[in-house]
Amino acid sequence: MDGRRNSGLNSYVFSVSAALVLFFVIIGVLFTERLTDAFTSVQDLIVSNFGWFYILSVAFFLIFVIWLYLSPYGNIRLGNSSDRPEYRDTTWFAMLFSAGMGIGLLFYSVAEPIIHLASPREAAPGTVEAAVEAMNITFFHWGLHAWAIYIIVGLALAYFSYRHDMPLTIRSTMYPIFGDRIYGVRGNIVEVLAIFGTLFGVATSLGLGVMQINSGMDYLGLMSVSVNNQILLIAFITLAATTSVMSGLNRGIRILSQMNIMLGLILVVFVFIVGPSVFLLSSYVQSIGYYLQHIVSLTFQTDAFTGIEWQKTWTMFYWGWWISWSPFVGMFIARISKGRTIREFIRGVLLAPVLVTFIWIIVFGNTAIHMEIFGNGGIIQAVQTSIPTALYVLLDGLPGSLLSSALATIVVMTFFVTSSDSGSLVISILSSEGNPKPAKPLRLFWSLLQGAVAAVLLLTGGLVGLQTAALTTALPFCIVLILMCYSIYKGLKAESDGKSISELENRSPEGTSDNKAKQMIGELLGGEADE
């Protein structure tokens, strides 16, 4: 096995990725309306023809993760057999929680349950039955499936890097399939797909965040809501993030990340205390039970007989968003999980962030629902007018609304800065052969480009543009995730059979089904150019 660890810039990966993204930005600026129409057409095409593929793939990822957890492979350690975890469980759980908390959760924790309450799939709008359904669907979108996707990438990166001493790059996860050919065209294509998906996934979150920041500043009387103001906010906050990077203030970013969590916890505890606390505790228990009761039927729901419009807006958007985010989150959890067994890794990553995410959704979402059904209402109407205002309308109905709204805006802004910084770091690592400390100018370039993409997405369709970008860029990387599952299995099986993964490339006789499948995959990812 050629475990190369080149720490320099991969000129092919960088130039192709940068050229594609810059082309998108230029087209978006020069031909805004045409790009908007193209977004709509592409989204309809993908959902109409590949919606079933998204649904089935994500279902498979969760099943595969559960199977790995229950299998004997779960005892294999991510590292040498003598390695032990670098972080205590409590610290590790907190770091996983920080990976799961982000702009999107702040954006949708109130808005999504309220939207489902107003327009439920089955129940009558605005009823108690609609409220139960709303929380169940929100749990479904933010629950086990999302983290199963992240586990695939994180586990593959950690296993091949720490167990087999390979670079911490996406291409390394393909070694059992392609061998040393991952260092050629095929590996470059995989890295480009990962960069493209990550950049647009992060840009989607930044776009959601700036819409919410703008709404918060409007509520505080500081800035009116408009696309121009949102683009100004993107420019200002991106500049703050890039200044931190170029000034070497990485320690400051770490402090800001820790402050994110503390401020977020203060906000959720505040809403819990001043909100309907007993109702929230009771509904948390009930909602988890309802979620587990309906998870199978929702997992395979494609709306084959009723049309795809709802799936396009919700489940397929989320699955695409999580897939596009998976290199970003996966690399983060891989970097903090060395020394744990596969079973410990899956148990921690699949359960801890999900349970905390559910707490967040219950506190904000069910407080809003309680206010709508049993209180003065008004949240549904506000959300139907402007989704980003949902959080602020909720806080406005609670004591201390001015202070809590200011705190919420600060939390979103700090998440924006840390997401931009972390996203540019991951993309820089991917374009630098896995170098954990890429050059600052490279991070600056990707940080600015992330902001530019977020601005273009807002210009070309707002929320719909953000949803389309996540859904579209995730499709090719979904195929990469499926290959990762196969590669993880081959690597683990080879190890259990006492073989090195370097023996896998030529293990199958010419003409066998395994070799034919490998050849087909190779042609899909670059033909024989790198032979």
- Looking at residue 475, its amino acid is L
Secondary structure class of 189 (helix, strand, coil): helix
The domain tally of the chain equals 1
Half-sphere exposure of 2 (CA within 13 A, CB side): 11
Q: How distant, in Å, are the alpha carbons of 431, 528, 529 from that of 184?
A: 14, 10, 8
Q: Give 459-463 contacts, CB < 8 A, sequence gap 24+.
A: 459/28, 459/29, 459/32, 459/227, 459/231, 460/28, 460/32, 460/35, 460/36, 460/39, 461/36, 461/39, 461/40, 462/211, 462/227, 463/208, 463/211, 463/387
Q: How far apart are CA 124 and CA 129, in angstroms?
A: 7
Residue 356 is assigned to a structural domain of this protein: yes
409, 217 in Cβ contact below 8 A? Answer: yes
Residue 129, SS3 per DSSP: helix
**322, 145 Cβ separation under 8 angstroms:** yes
Question: 426 near 443, Cβ under 8 Å?
Answer: no
CB atoms within 10 A of CB 91: 12
Evaluate whether residue 229 is within a structural domain.
yes
Tokens of 405: 């709204």
Cα first-last separation, the chain: 16
In this prediction the pTM is 0.88
Residue 36 lies in a domain: yes
Structural contact between residues 381 and 115, judged by C-beta atoms closer than 8 angstroms:
no
Residue 96 lies in a domain: yes
**What residues have CB less than 8 Å from 19, skipping those under 6 apart?**
none
Spatial contact of 411 and 405, defined as CB atoms under 8 Å apart: no
Closest CA to 462 of 40, 138, 23, 21: 40
Closest CA to 230 of 217, 243, 246: 217
**Does residue 224 form part of some domain?**
yes
pLDDT in tens, the chain (531 residues): 544 445 578 888 999 999 999 998 888 888 877 877 887 788 788 888 888 999 999 999 999 999 999 999 999 999 888 888 888 888 788 777 766 567 778 888 999 999 999 999 888 998 999 999 999 999 999 999 999 999 999 999 999 999 998 988 999 999 999 888 888 888 899 999 899 888 888 888 888 888 888 888 888 888 888 888 999 998 888 887 777 666 655 565 667 777 878 888 899 999 999 999 999 999 999 999 999 999 999 999 988 887 767 887 889 889 988 998 899 889 888 988 999 999 999 999 998 889 889 999 999 999 999 999 998 878 898 888 888 888 889 999 999 988 999 998 888 888 878 778 778 888 888 898 888 788 888 988 998 898 898 888 888 767 677 777 777 888 889 999 999 999 999 999 988 888 777 665 544 434 444 554 455 445 545 554 444
Does residue 32 lie in a domain region?
yes
SS (H, E, C) 285-335: HHHHHHHHHHHHHHHCCCCCCCCCHHHHHCHHHHHHHHHHHHHHHHHHHHH
| Residue-range definition of the domain harbouring residue 402 | 11-497
Asked, for residue 482, whether it belongs to a domain, the answer is: yes
Instruction: Give dist(CA 239, CA 186) in Å, integer.
Output: 35
Asked whether the beta carbons of 367 and 271 are under 8 A apart, the reply is: yes
pLDDT, residue 11, reads 87
Structure tokens at 436: 């954990």
Contact partners, residue 107, CB within 8 Å, separation at least 6 = 208, 209, 211, 212, 387, 388, 391
What is the model's pLDDT at position 61?
98
User: In this structure, what CATH number is given to the domain that contains residue 200?
Assistant: 1.20.1740.10
Q: Which pLDDT score, from 0 to 100, does residue 99 have?
A: 64
Query: Which pLDDT score, from 0 to 100, does residue 468 have?
Result: 77
- What is the rounded CA–CA span in Å between residue 528 and residue 531? 5
Bridge partners for 341 per DSSP: 77
Helices (H) and strands (E) in the chain, counts: 21, 0
β partners of residue 77: 341
Amino acid at 439: A
Cα 520 from Cα 513, distance rounded (Å): 10
Enter the tokens of residue 219.
Answer: 């509520």
Whether 131 maps to a domain, the answer reads yes
